[in-house]
Chain A
Amino acid sequence: MSQNARNLRLAIALGVTAAAVYLAFVLLRVLESGA
């Protein structure tokens, strides 16, 4: 795997993590409130 591909793979993983944290805080709150 090339350096660029490895960089991209890690960057996407970190980006997905950030998005998951965001969604966890908003969506869980929405679900909990029964909306």
Chain B
Amino acid sequence: MADHGHGPPQGIARWLTTTNHKDIGTMYLVFSLVMFLIGGTMALVIRAELFQPGLQLVDPSFFNQLTTVHALVMVFGAVMPATVGLANWMIPLQIGAADMALPRMNLFSFWLLAFAFLLLIATLFMPGGAPAAGWTLYPPLVLQSGKAFPMAIFAIHLMGASSIMGAINVIVTVVNMRTPGMTLLKMPLFSWSWLITAYLLIAVMPVFAGSVTMLLTDYYFHTSFFNAAGGGDPVLFQHLFWFFGHPEVYIMILPAFGIVSEIIPTFSRKPIFGYEAMVYAIASIAFLSFIVWAHHMFTVGMPLAGQLFFTLSTMLIAIPTGVKIFNWTATMWRGSITFEPPMLFALAFLFLFTIGGFSGLMLAIAPADFQYHDTYFVVAHFHYVLVPGAVFGIMAAVYYWLPKWTGHMYDMALAKWHFWLTAVFVNVLFFPQHFLGLAGMPRRIPDYATQFTDWNMISSIGAFGFGLSQLLFVWLIVRCVRGGERATAGVWDYQHGLEWTVPSPAPYHTFEKAPEIR
């Protein structure tokens, strides 16, 4: 029998063999931070190359590899693992469970992911280099990749398997392990958002795995799934990819919605406005994410009925999203608001994510999309959704729960510096890209016409400002882990939820006896 009174084993063995949800959550979060820095460095090389027209630093082929790997690293290595890390840490604490339901599979998911990224990043240094067709991996271009292509596809399969196992773990934990009295509609919104995200993952990651398997057989076994010369259709890949790819966007953003729904009530000192509407809005967004995929590919040509359907279904998403924005705003209405770092990031999320949402509505209009498609306008749009959207949500969560994890308060002044630098530079970085796109600058190119120079320079300055500001974040986290003012169990003035009933730092084992929920 295991002795449940023991602490963690010491040294490296702890991290290699742990099945504790807090340790695994920490590993996911640290992994995500490392990937954020690696993917960010790639972005800085891209922005340095684009600082002025002409070819300066890297050859065009390597530039294309960098855009591809930057995206894969940020999506699958930084944003998703960060939200999985938060899920590992916080879902058991929020629902009163002793651990995740399947702890060994949990550890396996993590190490599978780490191994996958070792393979993926290694392809950059192999003969022929990494895939260079963008993260969308469209054939036939992607089939012209070098000999490392199957390794990259293998890495993607491994990440998919890891994500599916992570999702299974979340669903089983939430469905089976809630403490007595914690009905689904009493569950904190972060756990809710992750439950729905996990269902999305199980529905779409296998589709992506299937699509890249077919790429592999086209590459090696001369099948013609996507080869027109053999009776196949390259557009089929785009349909399959975006049937995965659009829900994938929500896989990244829904946990951030959950996080913001935790933070705004705390710092407004009021319960969330319209809890049930928030749950139904997340579920509606998840459902709609399955029926909008072809808005990514209006320009391949489709019947008018198809254009109308995908335009209108996409616009429908604005309704549940609007419900959420309204409810967050209504939560703050007449609240006693203070502006601690988590609240600052949550508020910036509210404004800046909405900008990304609005440019998404512009792109959803099929005839207008013919102009915007494959321009920097699209790059600006999805970076607004993912950086001040998903990444700000994750940063807000780190600032919200870091005292609970480490037992120390962090340097508030430094965190506010980090916020303001990040919030200013993210706009300097991405807002000019709207102008570039509207003026006709295509995406995924290492060189451009001279009339695009000014806004590219400003965007690149923003990129370096943003990147360097993140060093403050790393420094702040390291300092907080190493010491600081002791955090209380409640940490903040107004708390809601079981995670604030356990001491800070949260003990290695929590809720071995199920807590009571009234």
Contact residues of A with B, CB < 8 Å? Answer: 3, 6-8, 10-11, 14-15, 17-19, 21-23, 25-26, 29, 33, 35
Contact = CB atoms under 8 A, between A and B. Distances in A.
A11 B167 CA distance: 10
A23 B207 CA distance: 9
Nearest to B210: A25
Contacts, number: 61
B124 interface: no
Contacts of A10: 171-172, 175-176
A25 B176 contact: no
A21 B225 contact: no
Given A19-B206, A22-B210, A26-B214, A11 B168 contact: yes
Given A10-B176, A18-B205, A26 B210 contact: yes
Contact of A25 (B169, B207, B231): B207
B321 interface: no
B206 A18 contact: yes
Contact of B211 (A3, A14, A25): A25
Given A25-B207, A25-B240, A14 B202 contact: yes
A11 B240 CA distance: 26
Contacts of B164: 15, 18
B355 interface: no
B8 interface: no
A21 B243 CA distance: 12
A11 B35 CA distance: 29
Interface in B156-210: 164, 167-169, 171-172, 175-177, 202-203, 205-207, 209-210
A14 B206 contact: no
Interface string B484-516: 000000000000000000000000000000000
Contacts of B205: 18
A29 B210 CA distance: 10
B367 interface: no
Given A6-B176, A22-B207, 11 more contacts: A10-B172, A11-B172, A14-B167, A14-B168, A14-B202, A21-B206, A25-B240, A29-B236, A33-B224, A33-B232, A35-B223
A5 to B, nearest CB: 10
Given A25-B240, A29-B225, A33-B231, A7 B206 contact: no
Contacts of A19: 206
B143 interface: no
B215 to A, nearest CB: 11
Nearest to A7: B101
